[in-house]
């Protein structure tokens, strides 16, 4: 018995067990197949599944933990204002628009079928949750050999990888993200506009995200102003390579 059948039978059973008054008669009328719509077929109306709710992960470190690469003020505003707003807005949009998705991965994989508000804020929610987790304080961020080997195999050397990633981050015009992704066992670098990500059906860049860098001005402007290149250069020591390795198959 699938869930729909189960719910339908449970509903009929519980209604049958109760003494039918006017209120119950209305309830029953609203939850069964209208007359003439396929006699004997299953009821079409079942209680809706609870709406999907996205959550903001706890920041895995203090606001000042990534200094001097990322200053405490930027981190606090980024997490408590920008990221928190994406989470609030996506959940509002999911509820207001009656978005039905199995889970966050399913939502992202079909994001092109939803509104711009859902797309932008679901991306903003997922991307920042990911970003916080692939960074950590600069002390002890060594490269696991699994990561070094995969990077060498795909890009020739670690320096060449950094150069290519930096290029993607610098050439993303306006707001967006630079990504290292895995595509069928190979690593690739690219970028996405706005809050799109490689898990979205609408994204030109596809793959399993391994590492991301937020290149929206809100991510660096307080400390670096227009100097995105300095932000990118200073960011490497706070990459959490152990977290990248965990995501690498
Ligand atoms: Mn951001």
Three-state DSSP at 152 gives: helix
Three-state DSSP at 189 gives: strand
Report how far ligand 1's centroid is from the alpha carbon of 146 (Å): 29
Report how far ligand 1's centroid is from the alpha carbon of 230 (Å): 17
Report how far ligand 1's centroid is from the alpha carbon of 46 (Å): 39
Report how far ligand 1's centroid is from the alpha carbon of 45 (Å): 41
Report how far ligand 1's centroid is from the alpha carbon of 187 (Å): 24
Report how far ligand 1's centroid is from the alpha carbon of 77 (Å): 10
pLDDT value of position 80: 98
Report how far ligand 1's centroid is from the alpha carbon of 128 (Å): 6
Residues 131-147: tens digit of each pLDDT: 999 999 988 778 899 99
Which tokens hold the place of 145? 């050999």
Residues 98-115: tens digit of each pLDDT: 999 999 999 999 999 999
Q: With bands split at pLDDT 50, 70 and 90, how would you rate the model's confidence at 29?
A: very low
Report how far ligand 1's centroid is from the alpha carbon of 70 (Å): 12
What average pLDDT does this structure show over 204-222?
Answer: 98
How far is 145 from 153, CA to CA, in rounded Å?
12
All structural domains of the chain, each given as residue ranges with its CATH number in brackets, are 72-247 (3.55.40.20)
What average pLDDT does this structure show over 63-71?
Answer: 98
CB atoms within 10 A of CB 26: 10
Confidence check: pLDDT of 15 > 80: no
User: Does residue 197 contact residue 126 with C-beta atoms inside 8 Å?
Assistant: yes
Half-sphere exposure of 19 (CA within 13 A, CB side): 1
Q: With bands split at pLDDT 50, 70 and 90, how would you rate the model's confidence at 49?
A: low
Which tokens hold the place of 170? 């610098």
User: Does residue 43 contact residue 33 with C-beta atoms inside 8 Å?
Assistant: yes
Q: Which of 74, 75, 48, 73 is nearest to 61 (CA)?
A: 75
How far is 58 from 229, CA to CA, in rounded Å?
28
């Amino acid at each position: 018995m699938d869930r729909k059948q189960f719910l339908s039978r449970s509903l009929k059973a519980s209604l049958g067990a109760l003494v039918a008054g006017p209120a119950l008669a209305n309830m029953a009328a609203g939850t069964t197949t209208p007359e003439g719509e396929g006699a004997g077929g299953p009821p079409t109306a079942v209680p809706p599944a609870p709406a999907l709710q996205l959550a903001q992960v706890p920041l895995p470190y203090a606001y000042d933990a990534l200094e001097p690469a990322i200053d405490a003020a930027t981190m606090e505003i980024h997490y408590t204002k920008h990221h928190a707003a994406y989470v609030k807005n996506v959940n509002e949009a999911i509820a207001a628009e009656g978005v039905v998705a199995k889970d966050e991965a399913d939502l992202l994989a079909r994001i092109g079928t939803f509104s711009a508000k859902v797309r932008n804020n679901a991306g903003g929610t997922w991307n920042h949750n990911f970003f916080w987790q692939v960074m950590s304080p600069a002390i002890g961020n060594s490269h696991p050999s699994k990561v070094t080997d995969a990077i060498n195999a795909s890009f020739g050397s670690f320096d060449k990888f950094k150069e290519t990633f930096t290029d993607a981050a610098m050439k993303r015009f306006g707001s967006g993200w630079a990504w290292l992704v895995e595509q069928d066992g190979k690593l690739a670098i690219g970028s996405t506009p706005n809050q799109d990500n490689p898990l979205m059906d609408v994204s030109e860049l596809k793959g399993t995200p391994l590492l991301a860098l937020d290149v929206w001005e809100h991510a660096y402007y307080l400390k670096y102003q227009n100097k995105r290149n300095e932000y990118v250069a200073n960011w490497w020591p706070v990459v959490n390579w152990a977290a990248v390795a965990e995501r690498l198959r």
